Amino acid sequence: MGHNFAMSKAVVSSLYDSEVFRMACRQFDQAADAINLPDTLRDRTKYPRRCLAVSLPIRRDDGSVTVFEGYRVQHNLSTGPSKGGVRFHEKVTLGEVAALSMWMSWKCSLVGLPYGGAKGGVIVNPRELSPTELEHLARRYMQELVGFVGPQLDIPAPDLGTNEQIMAWMMDTYSSHVGHITPAVVTGKPIALGGSQGRREATGVGVAYLVRKYLEDLSLPIEKATVAIQGFGNVGGEAALALTSMGARVVAISDYTGALYNAAGIDVKKALAYVQYAGVLKDFDGADPITNEELLELECTVLVPAALERVIHQDNAARLKCRVLAEAANGPTTNEADRILEARGDIEVIPDVLCNSGGVIVSYFEWLQNLQSYYWDKGEVLAKLTVMLDRAKDAVEYQKRKFKFSRRLAALTLGIERVAEAKQKRGLFP
Ligand code: GLU
């Protein structure tokens, strides 16, 4: 396929085909049309460069063996090593990982990082594994990836269902293989192993920082803002903390066990302490149960989807009652929902590639610190983070005004344009 140009235009990936991959492709097509991206550059900018699918046999605590399936998709390596998290979730598919790798490319490019995009995933519910089994799985996954990843090749990081400890095991496994400690092969590590100050908070803090900025643009004081957050993992939890410390009132939070609402404001620290102890939000007594659908449709100033893709879709987009939609998750809004929100015109969308970019920005700082073996304090990290977020936000607002684009289209066109330009300047190979 693809030897003749007319055919190559019609290429639809059989490997990655899925709802979420098609969604990412439609976003790309729309952006490519909007900037008149030459046909010769389209498909090679759009489709992932390569992927690895791996079988991961691990010994269970009871002596049996289970084989898990994992993936790593490298979308683009034209502007530097590829970068992106690894997701441990029972619903992971290759198509989802591919879509997430595309969004990493646009995100890194938009905020000016010298990285292409990548993403990894393992089909597993990590809650069903003991800590030992989880360690076996993390190590086995990295062992299969040695040769496909590296500080100058592809740098994994945490995502849904993975954390600092898992990054530590991966870094250790890689280092054992190459024969010397190589902290720069993954980011999001524990501080003791070369992790960066501020990395754990970075995505949530970045979300909160941008929310405050956009509320300022709307002349809405953050002290009067109410916030509903879907997802109370690392990103949702840290965003809740940061927004509370800025004076906002978090009225709803949720995890996979259900959603909670308290009009007077949820005590976020107490909820985080409860989750630390109970593992889930279920039965937390500081708020009343509501459904996940009710949370998304709550009347609030800011709605923060901080979990999975495609939670705002054609059936609920018309019913959202927020003023600002801050996309802490990747791909939370479907193409149909985007159209509905645009037609409504009353909700400011902070698109994922901008909104949650604080995570990968501080991952970049972590990688830089590792390469130089010279470490920064938290103040320095956070100050540098806000400089990069401000720059990206300003660029998006300029692009939005100049071409009368939606904010998502502005962000995507900036990200895509830079990747396409690098490909065009380098030639056909990268
Ligand atoms: N998984 C995060 C994201 O989706 C962070 C990636 C990274 O730090 O490399 O942006």
Pick the residue whose CA is nearest to atom 8 on ligand 1. 360
Q: How far is the CA of 290 from the centre of ligand 1 (A)?
A: 30
Average of pLDDT values for 55-82? 97
Q: How far is the CA of 14 from the centre of ligand 1 (A)?
A: 26
Average of pLDDT values for 381-402? 98
**What residue spans define the domains of the chain?**
48-193, 196-430
Q: Is the dihedral of CA 253, 381, 84, 187 positive or negative?
A: negative
> Which ligand 1 atom is at minimum distance from the Cα of 85?
1
Q: Best mutation site among 203, 238, 308, 366 for ligand 1, i.e. most ligand atoms within 8 A of its Cβ?
A: 203
Beta-carbon count within 10 A of 38 CB: 11
Model pLDDT, residue 11: 54
Beta strands in 268-337 (DSSP E): 288-290, 302-305, 324-326
pLDDT at 9 over 50: no
pLDDT at 2 over 70: no
In which band, very low, low, confident or very high, does the pLDDT at 430 lie, cut at 50, 70 and 90? confident
Asked if 48-193 and 196-430 have one fold, the answer is: yes
User: For the whole model, what pTM was predicted?
Assistant: 0.96
Q: Which residues are catalytic?
A: 119
Q: What is d(CA 47, CA 69) in angstroms, rounded to the nearest whole number?
A: 22
- Comparing CA positions, the residue from 366, 220, 357, 363 lying closest to residue 302 is 220
Average of pLDDT values for 97-118? 98
- Comparing CA positions, the residue from 315, 6, 355, 331 lying closest to residue 203 is 355
Q: Best mutation site among 104, 365, 370 for ligand 1, i.e. most ligand atoms within 8 A of its Cβ?
A: 104
- Comparing CA positions, the residue from 171, 157, 142 lying closest to residue 202 is 157
- Comparing CA positions, the residue from 330, 397, 324, 332 lying closest to residue 357 is 330
Pocket lining for ligand 1, CB < 6 angstroms: 83-85, 157, 159, 187-188, 330, 356, 359-360, 363
Model pLDDT, residue 110: 98
Q: What is the pLDDT of residues 181-199, one digit of tens each?
A: 999 999 999 999 999 999 9
pLDDT at 8 over 50: no
Q: How far is the CA of 159 from the centre of ligand 1 (A)?
A: 6
Model pLDDT, residue 5: 38
Quick one: which H or E segment has residue 420?
helix 407-426
pLDDT at 141 over 80: yes
Model pLDDT, residue 284: 96
Beta strands in 234-320 (DSSP E): 249-255, 258-261, 288-290, 302-305
The CATH superfamily assigned to 48-193 is Leucine Dehydrogenase, chain A, domain 1 (3.40.50.10860)
pLDDT at 10 over 50: no
> Which ligand 1 atom is at minimum distance from the Cα of 156?
9
- CATH code matching the domain that covers 196-430, chosen among 1.10.10.60, 3.20.20.70, 3.40.50.720, 3.60.70.12: 3.40.50.720
Q: How far is the CA of 318 from the centre of ligand 1 (A)?
A: 30
Q: Best mutation site among 159, 199, 364, 381 for ligand 1, i.e. most ligand atoms within 8 A of its Cβ?
A: 159
Q: How far is the CA of 167 from the centre of ligand 1 (A)?
A: 12
For tokens 């149909």, what's the residue? 336
Q: Which of 10-24, 77-91, 165-179 shows the lowest per-residue confidence on average (mean pLDDT)?
A: 10-24
In which band, very low, low, confident or very high, does the pLDDT at 105 lie, cut at 50, 70 and 90? very high
> Which ligand 1 atom is at minimum distance from the Cα of 188?
8
Model pLDDT, residue 170: 98
The pLDDT mean for the chain works out to 96
Q: What is d(CA 386, CA 194) in angstroms, rounded to the nearest whole number?
A: 22
Model pLDDT, residue 395: 98
* Separation in Å, CA 369 to CA 14, 193, 223, 372, 391: 40, 12, 36, 5, 22
pLDDT at 108 over 60: yes
Q: What is the pLDDT of residues 229-255, one digit of tens each?
A: 999 999 999 999 999 999 999 999 999
Q: By percentage, how much of the chain surpasses pLDDT 90?
A: 96
In which band, very low, low, confident or very high, does the pLDDT at 428 lie, cut at 50, 70 and 90? confident
